[in-house]
Structure 1
Amino acid sequence: MTTLKIAAYPGDGIGPEVTAEAMRVLSAAARLEPELHLEFTTLPWGIEYWKQHGRCVPENFLSIVRPFDAILLGAVGWPALLPDHETLWPLVQIRQAFDQYACMRPAKLYRGLKSVLAGKGPAEIDFVVLRENSEGEYVDNGGRLKRGTPDEFAVQTAVHTRKGVERILRYGFEMARKRRKKLTMVTKSNAQRHAYVLWDDILAELAPQYPDIESERQHCDACAMNMVRWPEKFGVVVASNLFGDLLTDLGGVLAGGLGLAPSTNTNPERNFPSMFEPVHGSAPDIAGKGIANPIAAILSGAMLLDHLDHPAAAARIRTAVEETLLSGAATPDLGGKLTTEQMGSAVLANVT
């Protein structure tokens, strides 16, 4: 019997609501596997923890989550009480400390759903964005000087390393072999002559090593335009930390909405636990109303099982989600009336 120890970090807003449904579905899928057991430990961190302790997580939070096999995250943030850069900072630290350099965010339109793009269906919208997750624009490198004066200024310096760029591109090339054999690298070398020329150079060096993969580079603004015009032309998109963050929100909307968009923060070598989370935020405006869509969190759970070498259980979950959406079950964001729990139960009923 394999026991996977999962740290559940529900977080804030709708995070606890969608995480609860993901845990129900994950447990049901695991019970159908003869040698698999999931053990969840809930971490009560976030804005409520901040109210009591003046910080969102314990000081030793990294050592607390280090022994787990994976982290299942809901969402964090409550901007009316605490700025987003403070609530998000523990997640950035987890990504960097645990070398979760591959953030994978699939944009897949399931059957039974309509995209916002006219004439585009499931056959056209099925690509993955790989976001370099450990460096780039999210490194805390800079500062603000002369605060509160007319001469105040801020300096924020991105960090791009050859190692970081090369490993995310190689990861992307390997993934492209399992998809449309097409890799698109996102750049902005026409304006960022140092950082993104480095990205361009490394792509040019690596591409001949993958002759079976069609590779190209697109400037970020052009890539955003082309995702809307021709989503079917994309297979695997590799982008820096910031560009990947922006483009994956677009991909989520093209694939039916952020309530359906899962993601991973992966350490591919499995030297550290990886973290799995829906792309959507904490949505404080609908927190507690029971109307949030749990599908993104549920699909993030399927990605967790894939990463930990339980593809059959992961496939059960994806099949259940597809059958649920085909049946017309929908939360308000999809034009339906089901509550978060009812949607979770609908998926649960199809886990076989």
Structure 2
Amino acid sequence: MTTDTYRLGVLPGDGIGPEIVPAAVQVVDAALAAAGAGAVEWIELPLGRAAIDEHGDAVPAATLETLAELDGWLLGPHDSAAYPEPHRSKLNPSGTIRKHFDLFANIRPAKALDDADAIVPGTDLVIVRENTQGFYADRSTYKGTGEFMPSPDVAIAMGIVTRPAVERIARQAFELARRRRGKVTIVHKANVLRLTTGLFRDVCREVAAGYPDVTVDDYHIDAMTVHLLRRAADFDVVVTENMFGDILSDLAGEIAGSLGIAPSINASHERAMAQAAHGSAPDIAGQDKANPTAMILSAAMLLEWLGGRHDDQALRTAAALVEQGVAATVRAGTKTPDMGGATGTREFAQSVAATIKRL
């Protein structure tokens, strides 16, 4: 048994966040105990609408200061579109945290679970999304926004692609492929966006030269959407720029069965944040209907990341137990409504935790 203690942040967020984040904590605790891993000190921090009401800011300065002292954290979904002004017009909570800590890699797996109604059975791929640049206005400038209106009838958005940013995300993709099935697919639109996504494609190809053991191909973004629908099981690691990665990962999550099972982490070399790929689903908040799978699997990704960073095999074992526990629970027929079942959020998490104890 390891004696290491990790300090992990808990930011429940809005909507279904206060339901699915505690569910993930419950499952992680069960997996850590089963793996003989060190203890986790969970530190809950204010974020989102509750933070606005209590502290006057969706991401209080004290929250950012505390996060900087932690090993990682779980971020629940936010409903920034429902915030009162001026908070609604500010950078949203997850964007604020990503930008503050330069979490440049958004890693989004899409893996079909048995008996989870996958559109393409056998899907098992990972979207590696560059998280700091591209065509999203909140990420294409150091300060302010990359979107502006010179007149009421003209709107302009800048898309930024730089060699250093592409190099570091490409290395993440190729290193991940080495641990998986040894294949990277580069997605771009270089036939139209020749300079920006052309640079992305070309720099990824240059990085690929340092990984002769990894097979590389590339597709235009529009063609890639068709290939995912037709043959998602043929892809391993997909690396792409920010907006394309956002779109492809949502598509891949649904192909694998549901956005409710789509996990992700946002990471730099020093820090990582577990964050489900889906939104806050305010229409079902507080009804015990939300699928916590994506949040639970995101937490497993955080454990795996921490295990690699700290060379802690017990954390890696705990991460594997979480994945096995979810898969076995779904296979046994315990499923939330979005997966065709009738199990509530709390019962699903309890079932996963119990399954882990039996593994």
Same fold (TM over 0.5): yes
Per-residue CA deviation, residues 210-260 of structure 1 (Å, 9 max, x unaligned), is 222221111111111110011122110001111111110001101110111
Q: How far 1:155 moved relative to its partner? A: 2.6
SS of 1:218's equivalent in the other structure is strand
Distance 1:85 1:164, change over 3 A: farther
Q: How far 1:96 moved relative to its partner? A: 2.5
Contact 1:186 1:223 in 2 (8 A): yes
Q: Which residue is 1:162 aligned to?
A: 163
Q: Which residue is 1:99 aligned to?
A: 102
Q: How far 1:154 moved relative to its partner? A: 2.8
Amino acid paired to 1:91: S
Q: How far 1:22 moved relative to its partner? A: 0.3
Amino acid paired to 1:76: H
SS of 2:69's equivalent in the other structure is coil
Question: For residues 143 and 211 of structure 1, what CA distance do their matches in structure 2 show?
Answer: 40
Residue 301 of structure 1 pairs with residue 299 of structure 2: yes
SS of 1:229's equivalent in the other structure is helix
Extract unaligned runs of 5+ from structure 1: none
Q: How far 1:303 moved relative to its partner? A: 0.8
Q: How far 1:156 moved relative to its partner? A: 2.2
Amino acid paired to 2:331: L
Question: For residues 321 and 62 of structure 1, what CA distance do their matches in structure 2 show?
Answer: 31
Q: How far 1:35 moved relative to its partner? A: 4.5
**What does 1:1-352 align with in structure 2 at a 5 Å threshold?**
1-82=3-84, 86=89, 89-116=92-119, 120-122=120-122, 125-137=123-135, 138-140=139-141, 141-145=145-149, 151-267=152-268, 269-270=269-270, 273-309=271-307, 310-352=315-357
Extract unaligned runs of 5+ from structure 2: 308-314
Amino acid paired to 2:52: W
Contact 2:13 2:47 in 1 (8 A): yes
Distance 1:87 1:330, change over 3 A: farther
Q: How far 1:300 moved relative to its partner? A: 0.9
Q: How far 1:295 moved relative to its partner? A: 0.9
Distance 1:331 1:54, change over 3 A: same
Amino acid paired to 1:162: R
Identity across matched positions, percent: 39
Deviating 4+ runs (over 6 angstroms):
none
Question: For residues 328 and 209 of structure 1, what CA distance do their matches in structure 2 show?
Answer: 45
CA RMSD, 1 decimal:
1.9
Contact 2:81 2:88 in 1 (8 A): no
Question: For residues 234 and 216 of structure 1, what CA distance do their matches in structure 2 show?
Answer: 10
Question: For residues 323 and 24 of structure 2, what CA distance do their matches in structure 1 show?
Answer: 12
Distance 1:104 1:85, change over 3 A: farther
Amino acid paired to 1:317: V
Per-residue CA deviation, residues 40-70 of structure 1 (Å, 9 max, x unaligned), is 1111210122234442121354222100100
Question: For residues 29 and 307 of structure 1, what CA distance do their matches in structure 2 show?
Answer: 15
Deviation larger for 44-53 or 162-171? 44-53
Q: How far 1:86 moved relative to its partner? A: 4.4
Deviation larger for 251-260 or 174-183? 174-183
Distance 1:204 1:304, change over 3 A: closer
Q: How far 1:166 moved relative to its partner? A: 1.0
Contact 1:98 1:274 in 2 (8 A): no
Contact 1:136 1:241 in 2 (8 A): yes
Distance 1:284 1:35, change over 3 A: closer
Q: How far 1:34 moved relative to its partner? A: 3.3
Tell me which protein shows more helix as a share of its residues: 2
Question: For residues 147 and 223 of structure 2, what CA distance do their matches in structure 1 show?
Answer: 31
Contact 2:80 2:88 in 1 (8 A): no
Contact 1:78 1:282 in 2 (8 A): no
Distance 1:53 1:67, change over 3 A: closer
